[in-house]
Amino acid sequence: MKYIVVTGGVMSGLGKGITMASIGRILKNHGYKIVPIKIDPYINIDAGTMNPYQHGEVYVLADGAEVDLDLGHYERFMDVDLRREHNITTGVVYSAVIERERKGEYLGQTVQIIPHVTNEIKARIRGVAEKSGADICLVEIGGTVGDIESMPFLEAVRQMKLEEHENDFLFVHVTLVPFTTMREQKTKPTQHSVKALRELGLQPDIIVCRGKEALKEDVKEKIAMFCNVSPEAVISAPDTEDIYEVPLLLEREGIFFYIMERMQLEQSKEDPAWGKMVERRKKSASGDKLIRIAIVGKYAELEDSYLSIKEAIKHAATELECRVDTKWIEAEDLEEEKEIGSFFDDVHGILVPGGFGVRGAEGKIKSIEYARENKIPFLGLCFGFQLAVIEAARNVAGLKDANSSELCETPHPVIDLLEEQREVVEKGGTMRLGDYEVFVRRDTLAERIYRENKIVERHRHRYEVNPAYIEQIEREGVIFSGTDRSGTRMEILEISPDMHPFFLATQFHPEFRSRPNKPSPPFKAFLEGCMQKH
């Protein structure tokens, strides 16, 4: 097994995740089987309880693991399905070590960071790598060099470097090369970052330098000299208009050939599919077809909270060769407005994403009502689906006080806990997470979108449509067109195309399974509906 470890320095948010995802894409393009691992040094067990304002979106894996958004980049770039073990946190590691200590598995030893914690980290990395059957395991260590939280992980990979064959281990370090006001590229932050890494016993093999513009040759040579690498190992990674261009940029910089030589990989013919996809994206981005959609959310000021939705829109737009301009609307801003038409005058579609809690809920319901009454293409996701059910119950079925029991006490809890869920939740059970089958009714919009009657999509919710209200809600073209196998959990709500040009809401999150070359069917259909509206 060969390992590539990606670390970061100078500051967070430089793009380690995109860099590692891009390296994985390059290796996959050359025929290598890869497996990614993300190490998050925070003490949380997972990202599920984190506020999106602090950490961006919570991404959900096939097995229901709630993880850092970088794993979403890995899945999209590398076209792989990951599981819980591909995300290692300090909380997971320490929990395992403490549990072993309580069971007496350390035979009375004094349990310490070295060797017990570092051994646990190494065992987890190697376990995932070997189980995958991959050729190369890529490991990203979150945070920046110098963070106290990441020290045990950096020590663990230092030990692994010594324990593995020299050609089987490679370090990539991502740093920042900033500009001065005189437009001079400064290398000192990179030098200090590499110095901090070397003080921990780690020498980077490749340095990926982020910045607004490409590195000048003399700057590359200076970094190489002061950081003890060859000039070919200094890779310029300037900002790009599209993150999916990054693998092509890094390949042009020679990163694959350097990795190939250092790790003694065999040369292979490159698959051109990724490059063709990027060209299609450029063509669509410069084309005449422009549609504008409104996203009504409660974290609209932080777009990373809806990262997978943004990417799914891009994937669909590429397939349809159109440009999409996104208008972000704070749901709370709609709640005090009697007339909300001015918010949507210039849009061709409205999307209401997932979310939790009462804040902004009524504003989202107002936007759903506006989309339904004015026949504007609409897509609702997860909480957006539940609010679409509430809106239909209130304004179509006549249940004026309909609401979710999650949000308030209501005489008509059209969104509620199913009976079999109540005991589980009372005992501390959590949400319905990960991949589940959805059965699609025949002769519906959903069937035309998916072109099959059994699909698999990812979920992240706790409350469900109350079966007691289904018959009352299903009227005037409102249809529940998708359920689980039992038929008790409603998964898709739509309005008949005879009554509305495009109105679809899903209890699941289709954005999590969207890929650059395989756009999510609901997103593609939504944009098609917007184009027809345009």
Q: Are 377 and 501 in contact (CB under 8 A)?
A: yes
Q: Reply yes or no on whether the pLDDT at 236 is more than 50.
A: yes
The pLDDT value recorded for residue 54 is 73
**What single-letter amino acid sits at 116?**
H
Question: How is the beta sheet containing 402-404 ordered, strand by strand?
Answer: 402-404, 412-416, 464-465
Q: Are 524 and 316 in contact (CB under 8 A)?
A: yes
pLDDT at residue 428 greater than cutoff 50: no
The Cα–Cα gap between 418 and 14 comes to 44
Contact 430, 417 (CB under 8 A): no
Contact (CB, 8 A) for 194 and 234 = no
* CB contact at 8 A, 298 and 332: yes
Residue 434's beta-bridge partner residues? 459
pLDDT at position 487 is 92
Question: Tens digits of per-residue pLDDT, 257-287?
Answer: 999 999 999 888 889 999 999 999 998 888 7
pLDDT at 424: 58
| Cα dihedral across residues 420, 422, 423, 427: positive or negative | positive
The angle, 0 to 180 degrees and rounded to 10, between the axes of the packed helices 16-29 and 70-78 is 20
36 pLDDT higher than 50: yes
CB under 8 Å to 17, separation ≥6 — which residues?
38, 69, 70, 73, 74, 140
The answer to whether the beta carbons of residues 111 and 101 sit under 8 Å apart is yes
- Confidence grade of residue 288 (pLDDT, cut at 50, 70, 90): confident
- Which one-letter amino acid corresponds to residue 413? P
CA distance 289 to 324: 9
| Token couple for 238 | 């300037």
Given a cut of 70, whether residue 247 has pLDDT beyond it is yes
Alpha carbons 367 and 360: distance in angstroms, whole number? 11
Look up residue 200 and give its two tokens.
């921990």
Rounded Cα gap, residues 335 and 338, in angstroms:
8
C-alpha to C-alpha distance for 341 and 179, rounded to whole angstroms: 44
Residue with tokens 């410069």: 286
Q: What pLDDT shows up at residue 357?
A: 86
| Percentage above 90 pLDDT, the chain | 86
Q: Which of these is catalytic: 382, 406, 412, 500?
A: 382
Predicted pLDDT at 267: 80
**More confident of the two residues 14 and 171:** 171
Mean pLDDT on 14-24: 96
Extents of the domains making up the chain: 2-265, 277-416+465-482+492-533
CATH for 2-265 is: 3.40.50.300
Burial of 178 (0-12, 13-18, 19+ CB in 10 A): middle
Please give the pLDDT value at position 427: 46
Catalytic residue among 73, 459, 461, 509: 509
The predicted model gives 321-329 an average pLDDT of 94
Q: State the Cα–Cα distance between residues 369 and 350, nearest whole angstrom.
A: 11
Q: What integer pLDDT is reported at residue 28 of this predicted model?
A: 96
At 465, which helix (H) or strand (E)? Answer: strand 464-465
- Same CATH topology for 2-265 and 277-416+465-482+492-533: the answer is yes
Reduced DSSP (H G I as helix, E B as strand, rest coil) percent helix, strand, coil of the chain, to 5 = 45, 20, 35
Number of CB atoms found within 10 A of residue 289's CB: 14
Query: Distances in Å between the alpha carbon of 103 and those of 90, 97, 107, 111?
Result: 20, 10, 9, 13
277-416+465-482+492-533: what CATH class? alpha beta
**Euclidean distance between CA atoms 121 and 369, whole angstroms:** 51
On the question of pLDDT at 426 being above 60, the answer is no
57 or 288, higher pLDDT: 57
What size, in residues, is the chain?
534
Instruction: Write down the residue that tokens 């179509």 correspond to.
Output: 396
Told to judge if 511 belongs to the known catalytic residues of this protein, a careful annotator would answer: yes
Structure confidence at residue 534 as a pLDDT band (50, 70, 90): low
> What gap in Å lies between CA 402 and CA 423, rounded to an integer?
24
Q: Is the pLDDT of residue 504 over 50?
A: yes
CA distances from 244 to 92, 143, 241, 268, 323 (A): 31, 23, 9, 22, 16
* pLDDT tens digits, one per residue of 53-108: 677 899 999 999 999 999 999 999 999 999 999 999 999 999 999 999 999 999 98
* 193-200 CB contacts, 8 Å cutoff, 24+ apart: 193/9, 193/10, 193/144, 193/145, 194/9, 194/226, 194/227, 194/228, 196/9, 196/145, 196/146, 197/7, 197/9, 197/145, 197/154, 197/173, 198/228, 200/145, 200/151, 200/154, 200/155, 200/158
pLDDT digit string, tens, across residues 188-217? 999 999 999 999 999 999 999 999 999 999
Among 369, 391, 511, 528, the one annotated catalytic: 511
DSSP symbols for 366-393: HHHHHHHHTT--EEEETHHHHHHHHHHH
Distance, in Å, from the CA atom of 276 to the CA atom of 293, rounded to the nearest integer, reads 26
